[in-house]
Amino acid sequence: MSGSAPPPPRPPRWRYLIPKCPHADLFNRRGRDWLARQPVPDDDRAAIARHVRELDRLGEDLAALDRDIAQDTLEDEAIQRLITITGVNLAVAAGLMVAIGSIERFSSPQKLVSYFGLNPRVRQSGLGAAHHGRISKAGRSHARAMLVEAAWAAAKAPGPLRAFFIRIRAKRGHQIAAVAVALKLATLCWHMLTKGEDYRCARPSLVAHKRR
């Protein structure tokens, strides 16, 4: 047959031997500088640039939403109280209060934990010992996801929540530790909202930064 031979297939991207990004965030300034120095073909570099531009656009939209939420919740006492918890930012606090409504609907912290679907399933046969399994995930999924997000943030900051995370992680692993912290956060929310108290281990500088 006449005609030139088809070009050889391009190798899969893992064969470029690009190492893992050494920075915690690939898309902060240092991470982006590192990404720009990696040897990739021109079409892949153009694709990366498109994705980074889209990420920046979404970041601007989220920042605008955060400003709107801040303006609407500036005077809300319950939300201002919840942001004193390490790991709970304004968006999480506002989302939790939308899900909770009035804390008086929940007669105990266990009721609130169950509402978020963070209560462990219990299996028991007859008079045998009860076995606790995975969380039920039967409640408000969006609020549960926000609590888990806040748990990961709290696990990175000094304080009792991080110490609790490390203790559970050593026995059960990262994921279970994060869920355990999320359950503790739900319990904290109930006590703080019911008793009208701020988080006792709050870091004033961090709370002031959130409020700014």
| Tens of pLDDT, residue by residue, the chain (212 residues) | 455 566 655 555 555 678 888 988 888 999 999 989 988 888 888 999 999 999 999 999 988 888 887 777 778 899 999 999 999 998 899 999 999 999 999 999 999 999 998 877 544 444 444 344 466 566 678 899 999 999 999 999 999 999 999 999 999 999 999 999 999 999 999 999 999 999 999 888 888 888 77
Give DSSP secondary structure letters for the chain. Answer: --SPPPPPPPPPGGGG-PPPPSSS-TTSHHHHHHHHTS---HHHHHHHHHHHHHHHHHHHHHHHHHHHHHHHHTT-HHHHHHTTSTT--HHHHHHHHHHH--GGG-SSHHHHHHHTT-SEEEE--TTSPPEEEEE---S-HHHHHHHHHHHHHHHTSSSHHHHHHHHHHHHH-HHHHHHHHHHHHHHHHHHHHHHT---TT--HHHHHHHH-
Global pTM value: 0.68
pLDDT at 5: 60
pLDDT at 14: 52
Give DSSP secondary structure letters for 65-98. Answer: HHHHHHHHHTT-HHHHHHTTSTT--HHHHHHHHH
pLDDT at 136: 57
pLDDT at 124: 43
Give the phi and the psi of residue 159 in degrees, each rounded to 5: 145, 180
pLDDT at 67: 83
pLDDT at 125: 46
pLDDT at 199: 93
